[in-house]
Structure 1
């Protein structure tokens, strides 16, 4: 997992990695603290997906730049384009299904 500390780092992270997963949280968010370990565990099945963590309190511009309205917000970018967006209460079964679908199709291509 890569910690991102500036809005420019987020943009560079998204455009540097084929599969860039951006996790946006807030320090006082109890849901954020419970979702992150589950997300890390899920992403172990997808070795090409790189996880970047953003503290929304540290980078308040992230809300406007990526239209983030709740914490946590999970964004998957593939080749710089957003494909998955999950917010607040993450349905991990659906997320796993969506990740598998995109990952499998694009890795075969």
Structure 2
């Protein structure tokens, strides 16, 4: 995925979760299935995009991602939430529920 394609996706989708990880990041690999499960169950209209930060340095730099894992949630084309390293999946879920519900009328 190019930076241009990614920016277009962010502008056209209801919401987007960018999950930046790294091949050698054990925390990234442990968190990813948990995030996928929670986002599939609670935020099904958010498009989930997983990127290796080391394989996509231009995209990582553009979004100012300097450590992994980093999750960035975009809603209505704008950055809404950013979490990195020690992430509370519960807190992020609670933070997203209300605005997501308003945007998707759930």
TM-score when normalising by structure 1: 0.87
- Aligned partner of 1:24 in structure 2 is 20
SS in 2 for 1:57: coil
Bigger helix share: 2
Equivalent in 66, 69, 75 of residue 66 of structure 2: 69
Aligned residues: 105
CA contact (8 A) 1:22 1:76 kept: yes
Separation in 2 of the partners of 1:13 and 1:97? 24
Cα deviation code 1:8-48 (max 9, x no counterpart): 23212212211111111111111100110010011122221
Cα deviation code 1:36-81 (max 9, x no counterpart): 0010011122221110111111111123211112101101111210
- Aligned partner of 1:54 in structure 2 is 51
SS in 1 for 2:95: helix
What are structure 2's unaligned runs of at least 5 residues? none
TM-score when normalising by structure 2: 0.89
CA contact (8 A) 1:14 1:20 kept: yes
Change in 2 beyond 3 A, CA 1:60/1:6: same
- What's the C-alpha RMSD, in Å, of the aligned pairs? 1.6
Separation in 1 of the partners of 2:86 and 2:15? 22
